[in-house]
Amino acid sequence: MAPAFLKGAVRAMAGLGLGLTMSWSAAAEPGVSDDTILFGQSAAFEGPAAALGTGMREGLLAAFAEANAAGGVKGRKIDLVSYDDGYEPEAAITNTNKLIDEDKVFALIGEVGTPTSKAVQPIATDAQVPFVGPFTGAGFLRDASLGNVVNVRGSYDQETEAWIRHLTEDLNYDKIAILYQDDSYGRAGLSGVQKAMEKRDLELVAEGTYTRNTTAVKSALLEIRKADPQAVVMVGAYAPSAEFIRLGKKVGLNATYVNISFVGSKALASELGEDGAGVVITQVVPFPWDDSIPVVAEYQEALKAHAEGSEVGFVSLEGYIVGRLAIAALENVEGDLTREGFLQAVAQTGTFDLGGITLTYGPDDNQGMDEVFLTEIQAGGSFKAVEHLSKGGS
């Protein structure tokens, strides 16, 4: 019997075809050969969001390489084909159709971004293809009736609630402004902030927007500066967010700057340089340098083994966790390896203990993690995990 969060899904049809250079048997599920399971990814590998796609891919590949070195899953190696969409919905649609129709992937994994996910999730759902671990906290993907969607990270509503709670309780702020990307991603963050503010009988003192894949933030800065906010919460990518913070500090906007996890923490710190000290970022994965957490220690080893010289970071850790979840679900499939069986394995397993972090799924819950963590950029570009906010940073 199909799990509750698989409602509305139709049993995936067995397919024929060629994926890359591998031949599939007539009876096999798409993306499954005698020796390979093929996943597909569309993400940004060029442009202002490139660090996000690259980080997710590195983490996924590290997890897959680790599993493959141990013999794979049920005698099959896991492979990943990735295409660049530049963080643009139309390109993501083209890539997704190619991955499903030509490459015949078993599942889509590690999509990066809300606008791209919003464009391609319906395609994946219509084709009954699992859509696993998208790098976005958008609420529409948390609809458990989307039987093929498996989320890992916490939602933007959870991150924005944490923002406002810490700003109002730790710092006693009541003058909060927002900068957001003018698309479905930015508006998802705006909605979360507004809900958190309304809960406390507060209103935003100013709003500013910028266009996706640009760093055109000057107009937004002028609008926000007029309100003289105590904090600016930001729903953007690292390049425009860094531009806003740099310019803001230059013109004397001495606010607390708070960023969402999607920003790309390491890329933001790198872009900001000396202007990064004290900037706050919420995270949805544990601290990547805390090797006392078993899964983090395993991630560090896997990343080093897969790509010597790759730097540890929040995005690649998330990619690794997504990959580990996919591997665990594959291992728990009963009988023939099918897309439906994979989704049933997620629902029926329910709780996945990855070693220091737990992902939990249920009939009305297709999101594995709920935790939100606070971090601050330190002088020199490193990060510090913090429990509470303080004026002027830690």
pTM for the structure as a whole:
0.90
11 pLDDT above the threshold of 70: no
Residues 61-89 pLDDT 10s: 999 999 999 999 999 999 999 999 999 99
343 pLDDT above the threshold of 50: yes
pLDDT at 16: 26
Q: What is the mean pLDDT of residues 152-174?
A: 98
24 pLDDT above the threshold of 90: no
27 pLDDT above the threshold of 60: no
Domains in the chain (CATH in brackets) are: 4-154+291-360 (3.40.50.2300), 156-283+373-386 (3.40.50.2300)
pLDDT at 393: 59
pLDDT at 32: 97
Residues 82-119 pLDDT 10s: 999 999 999 999 999 999 999 999 999 999 999 999 99
210 pLDDT above the threshold of 60: yes
pLDDT at 28: 75
Burial of 23 by CB count in 10 Å (0-12 exposed, 13-18 middle, 19+ buried)? Answer: exposed
Least confident of 30-34, 228-232, 307-311, 336-340: 307-311
